[in-house]
Chains A and B, each alone.
Chain A
Amino acid sequence: MELKLFLMILISMVFINNFILSKFLGLCPFLGVSRNIKPAMSMGLAVIFVMTLSSIITWLVYRFILIPFNITFLRTITFILVIASFVQFVEMVVLKKSPALYRTLGIYLPLITTNCAVLGVTVLNIDSFFVQKAALHFSFLLSLAQAFFAGIGFTLALLLMSGIRERLELNDTPKCFEAIPIAFIVASLMSLAFMGFNGFKF
Chain B
Amino acid sequence: MKLYALFKEFSKGIFKENPIFVIVLGLCPALAVSTSLENALGMGVAATFVLVFSNLIISAIRKKVPNKIRIPCFIVVIASFVTIVELLIAAYVPLLQKQLGIFIPLIVVNCIIMGRAEAFASRNKVLPSIFDGLGMGAGFTLALSLVALIREVLGSGKIFGHLIFKEFNPASIMVLPPGALLTMGVLIAVANLIKQKRK
Q: Is the CB of A176 within 8 A of B106?
A: no
> What does DSSP make chain B's interface, helix, strand, loop or mixed?
helix
8 A-B pairs with the lowest CB-CB distances in the bound complex, closest first: A184-B185, A188-B181, A77-B79, A181-B189, A176-B193, A188-B182, A176-B192, A24-B32
Give the CA-CA distance A175 to B25 in the complex, in Å.
21
Select which of B83, B110, B176, B196 is within 8 A of A77 by beta carbon: B83
Q: Is the CB of B177 within 8 A of A22?
A: yes
Q: Is the CB of B114 within 8 A of A114?
A: yes
Q: Please, could you name 5 A-B residue pairs with CB atoms under 8 Å apart, sorted by A?
A: A24-B29, A28-B27, A77-B76, A80-B79, A184-B181
Does A163 reach chain B (CB closer than 8 Å)? no
| CB-based nearest B residue for A28 | B111
The tally of residues in B whose CB lies under 8 Å from a CB in A reads 43
The residue in A77, A81, A123, A195 that gathers the most chain B C-beta atoms within 10 A of its C-beta is: A77
Given A27-B27, A76-B86, CB of A176 within 8 Å of CB of B75? no
Give the CA-CA distance A187 to B75 in the complex, in Å.
30
Does B93 reach chain A (CB closer than 8 Å)? no
Residues of chain B having any CB pair with chain A under 8 Å: 24-25, 27-29, 31-32, 71-72, 75-76, 79-80, 82-83, 86-87, 101-102, 105-106, 108-111, 114, 173, 176-182, 184-186, 188-190, 192-193, 196
For the complex formed, measure the closest distance between the CB of B164 and the CB atoms of chain A, giving whole angstroms: 25
| CB-based nearest B residue for A182 | B185
Q: Is the CB of B178 within 8 A of A191?
A: yes
For the complex formed, measure the closest distance between the CB of B70 and the CB atoms of chain A, giving whole angstroms: 12
Q: Is the CB of B109 within 8 A of A180?
A: no
